[in-house]
Structure 1
Amino acid sequence: MRKLVYYIAATLDGFIAGPDGADPTGPGGFWPLPADYVQYLAANYPETLPFMAREALGVTAEGSSFDTVLEGRKSYEIGLAAGVPDAYPHLRHLVFSTTLGESPAEAVEVVAGDPVARVAELKKEDGKDIWLIGGGALAGALYGEIDRLIVKLAPLTTGAGIPLFGREAAFDPRVWKLTGHEAVESGALFLTYDR
């Protein structure tokens, strides 16, 4: 069965974005993107790079981890505001929203229903694992369905922001097993945990 993998960048203090929810890696963003970090992503998770980065870096690899990406409306609208209705045309792309209505991109599926039920359906399908890109609210809603966490831990603190599982996540302690870890020289850690 396919796994739901929350593959996400986080600060040392557990935040995935600033308090305003804006793209921390975009213009004016605060997230460091050193060359060795980007090279690690391109070599190990090329499918998680948006098409603009893939083109700029000359990345053509299909990737071996994911064939589907899930994101919440707020995360998706960051790309829309930048004029990018589908940053991942090389993946099956689902956006969870009760307010978005029709999809701005033909290949992007808007899901207005229960995310837990839709993920259960996706897990039963054949294919590679399912990448949960965020945001925090969707990750909180899918908390019980996440099979693996891959945290790209930045050597950065922000003091405040959007937590890993959003601001509305229920208190539900879980213990995870560390199944992989790598570091790049610039200080980022890539930590893999399985449920």
Structure 2
Amino acid sequence: MGRGAYQPALDIGVTSPYAHLRQYVVSSTLSGIDDPAVEVVSGGPIELVRRLKKEDGGDIWLCGGGKLAGALLPETDEMMIKYYPVVAGAGIPVFTAEFQPQLFDLADSRTFANGTLLLTYTRK
């Protein structure tokens, strides 16, 4: 996750918001976390993801904003996008990166009773 996604947990005293997962926080400003379940990564996230992809195990989930998502777009194999029936007026971009179109195919869609859509895309 990125620092911005991690900070709200820290603000309420939670150092391990996803205790059931291996957790990495990508940050150039956070020097360390006093929790052995969370590793701070100060370098580029691409190297981390490439290393994790070589390991046996499950999926890699991104919890962060557009800056981290944009940095990891070249390594993104699948995206799950949630659309909520709410108009907020402002927000964080999904991807903050240089304009380089990436092609994905719609692999699955699910509609919930409250109008939320969950769309799953896989890289072409």
> Unaligned stretches of 5+ in structure 2?
none
**SS class of match (1:120):** helix
Give the C-alpha shift of residue 89 in structure 1. 0.9
Shift of 1:159: 2.6
1:93 equivalenced with 2:23 (yes/no): yes
Aligned length: 123
Deviations 1:143-168 (A, max 9, x none): 111110001111122232211113xx
> Which structure has the higher relative contact order (CA within 8 Å, separation 6+)?
1
Match of 1:137 in 2: 67
After the TM superposition, list the runs of 4 or more consecutive aligned residues in structure 1 that deviate by more than 4 angstroms. none
Q: For 1:1-195, what aligned pairs fall within 5 Å after superposition?
A: 71-166=1-96, 169-195=97-123
TM-score (norm: length of structure 2): 0.94
Taking the aligned partners of 2:90 and 2:21, their CA distance within structure 1 comes to 32
Give the Cα–Cα distance (whole angstroms) in 2 for the partners of residues 109 and 155 of structure 1.
35
Q: Distance in 2 between matches of 1:122 and 1:73?
A: 19
CA distance in 1, matches of 2:34, 2:45: 20
Report the Cα distance in structure 2 between the residues aligned to 1:129 and 1:184, rounded to whole angstroms.
24
Unmatched 5+ stretches in structure 1? 1-70
Percent sequence identity is 49
User: Whole-Å Cα distance in 2 between the matches of residues 113 and 148 of structure 1?
Assistant: 23
Three-state SS of the structure 2 residue aligned to 1:155 is coil
Q: 1:142 aligns to what SS in structure 2?
A: helix
TM-score by length of 1: 0.61
